[in-house]
């Protein structure tokens, strides 16, 4: 899985578009970073820029953005309605995919150290990146705002985690930056079949972590209860890591519970939806749908779709698009307006369509187009790509039989057994589909190496080394196809022996395709290995390929025997 993080810095300029655009351009100048949103606020004199990418590019972009803000924003002249302590006020790193919060915290600390070391910007580390427990709270780090920095820097207990021991001109101009790491925040509004703000607020109090103030007799209007020290007593709500209020929206003519889920691990979106629905029903109301504000990581919707599929006792081994559709419909995310996951999911927005098309040129073709491309004068796609595609089809057939078995009448208590097989089949099918294009790419790389210059001895040596490396890779890719195709046999055997008998022939065809994939890919291992000048690296590849073919033959025979037993005479 690609490692993706989000960064949402807040800069202390919301009125001068030239300054805002220059900061955004500095961020966007880093290759591999995609700016998703620029949101200036005139009253707050503050701009929030959202960008995403892999960790190293995002950290570099954050540094460049902060450097540009330091250059263009003079905090001695800044005024706005929002609390702030620096030209780059807050700089949070947020895990989206393939990376943990702890890893983001370590990245944030290194970024804070670099900002001070290279730019002289004092930095406090907050939330998950905090060095001191009290600094997990941003408000503690930003206490007194920009104006309090001289006295905070002079006080060892309040001094920044990275910063000078004395107030200086650099600090006077740039202020201090709060660098942190936090979980992804999901902003969501739950639509209610009421116009009552008071009832929406009551539901919000029921579910938000902070809860509501305790009153005598448990009533809504009784005297507020305090403890022995005179502090207000609170009754906590049911959802961890959630903040919520109730409001009325003129545009829609309904009341909503507006929620920020600050910890999607503690409270996934679907859990919040179910709990707000329960709390609403207890008050005689109904949640008619949900409205996601901003963007979400893909896993938020995938996890929700899987949750509702499990509740329906339906197979989880379906396509990602189908899982997303279940998620959208189960929570009525399209209640107020159309909901397109490709416009709301961060990973989809990050995709470079041209690059995706290039990397998946073959598998994005129609079946007819793929066949015609194979039949053309071009040497690629060839046997290696075809072998990978046969392996993908074998996995697809295993998945199909498992899904049909999961939904078979009278087999309701076995749905999970077949769902697990279908999930494995989906994963394996995707791996083999990727290998379809990868095999052709490996062949193309050899052709590119043959086009390298060979006018000097150095160029000849470089060309020969490149051809050797590309050829070894071209022999390794079909071996990966063999390894993956071999994994299809246990799935096919399971559905042939225990699955829907009416689909036994499909499992048999899958076994034939899987064996053909293994044998075909073995031929490609052999022919590409024969082109190596150094035969030593080829021997383990050839030995493993031969072993896989023998294992595949035996497994195919077992699958076909089970199929014959199901079909009968």
Active-site annotation, residues? 82, 439
Q: Which of 541, 520, 548 is nearest to 471 (CA)?
A: 541
Total Cβ atoms within 10 A of residue 78:
17
- Rounded distance between C-alpha atoms, residue 65 and residue 71, angstroms: 10
Residues forming a β-bridge with 180: 92, 126
Distance CA 14, CA 19 (A): 9
Residue 147: both structure tokens together: 């104006």
Alpha-carbon distance 302 to 323, whole Å?
6
Residue 430 phi/psi, 5-degree rounding, is -65, -40
Q: Which two tokens stand for residue 450?
A: 């043959």
Structure tokens at 73: 């924003």
Integer distance in angstroms from the first to the last C-alpha of the chain? 47
Give the span between the Cα atoms of 44 and 81, in whole angstroms. 4
Q: What are phi and psi of 255, to 5 degrees?
A: -95, 150
b (16+ CB within 10 A) / e for 321-338 = eebbebbbebbbbebbee
Cβ neighbors of 348 (< 8 A, separation 6 or more) are 298, 341, 342
Nearest to 555 by CA among 508, 497, 493: 493
Give the Cα separation of 430 and 437 in Å (integer): 12
Q: What is the 3-state secondary structure (H, E, C) of 200-216?
A: HHHHHHHHCCCCEECEH
**What is the rounded CA–CA span in Å between residue 222 and residue 541?**
78
What does the alpha-carbon distance between residue 550 and residue 304 come to, in Å, rounded to a whole number?
Answer: 42
Q: Match 């949101």 to its residue by tokens.
A: 39
Distance CA 143, CA 112 (A): 18
Q: Which two tokens stand for residue 535?
A: 């035969």
* Local structure of 407: helix, strand or coil: coil
| Pair of tokens at residue 262 | 């600050």
């Amino acid at each position: 899985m690609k490692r993706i993080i989000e960064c949402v810095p807040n800069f202390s300029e919301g009125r001068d578009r030239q300054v805002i655009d220059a900061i955004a351009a500095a961020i966007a100048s880093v290759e591999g970073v995609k700016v998703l949103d620029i949101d200036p606020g005139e009253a707050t004199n503050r701009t929030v820029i959202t960008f995403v990418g892999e960790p190293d590019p995002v950290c570099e972009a954050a540094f460049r953005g902060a450097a540009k803000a330091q250059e263009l924003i003079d905090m001695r002249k800044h005024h706005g309605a929002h609390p702030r302590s620096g030209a780059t006020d807050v700089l949070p790193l947020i895990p989206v995919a393939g990376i943990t919060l702890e890893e983001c915290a370590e990245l944030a600390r290194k970024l804070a150290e670099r900002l001070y070391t290279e730019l002289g910007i004092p930095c406090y580390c907050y939330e998950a990146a905090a060095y001191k427990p009290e600094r997990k709270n941003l408000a503690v780090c930003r206490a007194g705002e920009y104006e309090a920095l001289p006295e905070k820097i002079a006080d060892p207990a309040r001094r920044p985690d990275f910063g000078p021991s004395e107030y200086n001109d650099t600090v006077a101009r740039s202020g201090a930056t709060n660098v942190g790491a936090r979980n992804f925040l999901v902003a969501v509004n739950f639509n209610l079949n009421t116009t009552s703000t008071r009832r929406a607020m009551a539901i919000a109090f029921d579910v938000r972590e902070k809860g509501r103030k305790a009153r005598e007799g448990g009533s809504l209007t009784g005297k507020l209860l305090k403890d022995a020290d005179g502090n207000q007593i609170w009754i906590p709500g049911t959802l961890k890591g959630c903040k919520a209020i109730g409001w009325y929206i003129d545009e829609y003519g309904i009341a909503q519970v507006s929620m920020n889920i600050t910890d999607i691990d503690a409270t996934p979106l679907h859990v919040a939806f179910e709990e707000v629905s329960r709390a609403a029903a207890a008050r005689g109301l109904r949640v008619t749908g949900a409205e996601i504000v901003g963007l979400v990581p893909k896993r938020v919707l995938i996890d929700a779709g899987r949750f509702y599929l499990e509740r329906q006792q339906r197979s989880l081994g379906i396509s990602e698009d189908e899982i997303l559709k279940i998620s959208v419909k189960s929570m009525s995310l399209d209640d107020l307006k159309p909901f397109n996951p490709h416009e709301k999911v961060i990973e989809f927005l990050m995709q470079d369509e041209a690059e995706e098309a290039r990397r998946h040129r073959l598998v994005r073709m129609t079946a007819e187009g793929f066949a015609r491309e194979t039949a053309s004068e071009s040497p690629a796609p060839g046997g290696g790509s075809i072998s990978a595609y046969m392996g993908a089809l074998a996995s697809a057939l295993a998945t199909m039989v498992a899904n049909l078995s999961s939904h078979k009448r009278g087999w309701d208590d076995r749905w999970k057994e077949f769902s697990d097989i279908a999930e494995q089949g989906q994963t394996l099918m995707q791996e083999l589909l990727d290998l379809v294009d990868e095999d052709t790419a490996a062949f193309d790389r050899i052709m590119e190496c043959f086009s390298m210059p060979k006018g000097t001895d150095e160029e000849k040596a470089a060309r020969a080394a490149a051809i050797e490396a590309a050829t070894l890779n071209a022999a390794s890719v079909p071996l990966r196809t063999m390894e993956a195709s071999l994994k299809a046999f246990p799935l096919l055997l399971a559905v042939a022996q225990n699955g829907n008998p009416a689909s036994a022939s499909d499992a048999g065809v899958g076994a034939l395709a899987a064996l053909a994939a293994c044998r075909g890919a073995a031929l490609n291992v052999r022919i590409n290995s024969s082109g190596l000048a150094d035969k030593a690296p080829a021997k383990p590849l050839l030995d493993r390929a031969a072993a896989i073919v023998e294992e595949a033959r035996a497994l195919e025979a077992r699958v076909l025997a089970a199929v014959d037993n199901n079909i009968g005479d």
